[in-house]
């Protein structure tokens, strides 16, 4: 006999029950949809037994670091930003970069937890992440990082719906990924290139394109927006000069990807 599928509210109760048992936690906090919801739930369950930690590197969009700080403040959560130099093992943007990055950064978070005598580090992995190409999940398992949203069986849609019901401004926030995902694997990474991509994407977001990727191929900028927004992108170029703005940043050619926005379009899958 099959068991009924739990509702999102039942999953949320399970999430709170699981968090209650942890007593004190460090939450890896990016300020995105999942980690914001996780921090909110942890605060509900553990009150002051929660430390949110945001890691700031040159391959993370500066606006996202600032949004994380604002979100933590809105939740009155203890929050710390760790400034981390560019990990040299990522300098050539290897295909296994997500694993190497997660291993390096979450090792730092486990050290923060140990120094504060906190027994658990949490991340915002959810059930839908298992269907995507996520090599970083292996690193989390190796380090003993807990994923309470996954354990509770929460999907991305559950998290959006619950976030909206709980009044979290992040409920409709598009998925984010580090700036290394904008550059092909095997390409030497320079800090100036990361800043250029960040500036270009921030400009496009200010024009109203919330879900946007600027894939950088040397002198070519390839813009991805949802296909239904392609006419808006062309109109925005006419009004606001996207082509000229990106060329002022140093790109020789600016192209629009007709396939539209999609996560991981530069991924190289390895077994």
| Domains of the chain and any CATH numbers | 8-172 (3.40.50.620), 180-256 (no CATH)
Can you give the pLDDT at residue 22?
A: 96
**Whole-angstrom distance, CA of residue 52 vs CA of residue 68:** 10
* Residue-level pLDDT at 271: 35
Strand order in the sheet with 253-256: 213-217, 220-224, 253-256
Quick one: how far is CA 195 from the chain centroid? 18
Rounded to whole angstroms, the Cα distance separating 168 from 181 reads 27
26: left (phi over 0), alpha (psi -120 to 50) or beta: beta
Contact 46, 182 (CB under 8 A): no
**Taking Cα atoms as reference points, which of 25, 70, 73, 28 lies closest to residue 47?**
25
Query: Which tokens sit at 122?
Result: 């949490």
Element (H, E) at 52: strand 50-56
- Distances in whole angstroms, Cα of residue 177 to Cα of each of 110, 167, 258: 22, 24, 21
Looking from the CA of 235 toward its CB, the CA atoms found within 13 Å total: 8
b or e along 31-48 (b: 16 or more beta carbons within 10 Å of the residue's beta carbon)?
bbbbbbbbbbbbbbbbee
Q: What angle do CA 81, 174, 170 make, to 5 degrees?
A: 60
Segments in the chain below pLDDT 70: 1-2, 132-133, 264-271
Q: Tell me, what's the pLDDT at 24?
A: 97
Cα–Cα distance, 116 to 221 (Å, whole number): 44
How many DSSP H helices and E strands does the chain contain?
10, 7
Residue 134 is predicted with a pLDDT of: 74
Report the pLDDT value the prediction gives residue 267, as an integer from 0 to 100: 60
Q: What is the model's pLDDT at position 268?
A: 45
Going by C-alpha positions, the residue among 139, 133, 135 that lies closest to residue 121 is 139
pLDDT at 1: 53
C-alpha pair distances (Å), 185 with each of 3, 25, 152, 215, 269: 44, 34, 34, 12, 11
């Amino acid at each position: 006999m099959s068991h009924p599928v739990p509702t999102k509210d039942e999953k949320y109760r399970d999430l709170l029950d699981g968090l209650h048992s942890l007593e004190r936690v460090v939450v890896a906090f990016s300020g995105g949809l999942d980690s914001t919801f996780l921090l909110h739930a942890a605060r509900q369950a553990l009150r002051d037994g929660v430390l949110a930690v945001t890691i700031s590197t040159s391959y993370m969009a500066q606006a996202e670091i600032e949004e994380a700080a604002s979100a933590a403040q809105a939740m009155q959560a203890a929050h710390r930003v760790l400034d981390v130099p560019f990990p040299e093992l990522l300098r050539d943007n290897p295909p296994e970069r997500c694993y190497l990055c997660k291993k390096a950064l979450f090792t730092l978070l486990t050290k923060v937890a140990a120094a504060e005598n906190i027994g658990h580090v949490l991340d915002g992995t959810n059930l839908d992440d298992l269907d995507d190409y996520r090599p970083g999940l292996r690193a989390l398992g190796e380090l003993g990082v807990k994923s309470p949203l996954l354990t509770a069986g929460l999907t991305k849609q559950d998290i959006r719906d619950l976030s909206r019901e709980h009044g979290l401004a992040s409920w409709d926030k598009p998925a984010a990924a580090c700036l290394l995902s904008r550059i092909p694997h095997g390409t030497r990474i320079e800090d100036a290139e990361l800043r250029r991509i960040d500036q270009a994407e921030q400009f496009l977001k200010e024009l109203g394109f919330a879900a946007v990727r600027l894939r950088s191929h040397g002198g070519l900028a390839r813009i991805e927006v949802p296909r239904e927004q392609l006419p808006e992108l062309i109109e925005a170029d006419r009004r606001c000069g996207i082509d000229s703005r990106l060329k002022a940043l140093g790109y020789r050619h600016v192209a629009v990807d007709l396939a539209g926005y999609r996560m991981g379009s530069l991924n190289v899958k390895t077994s």
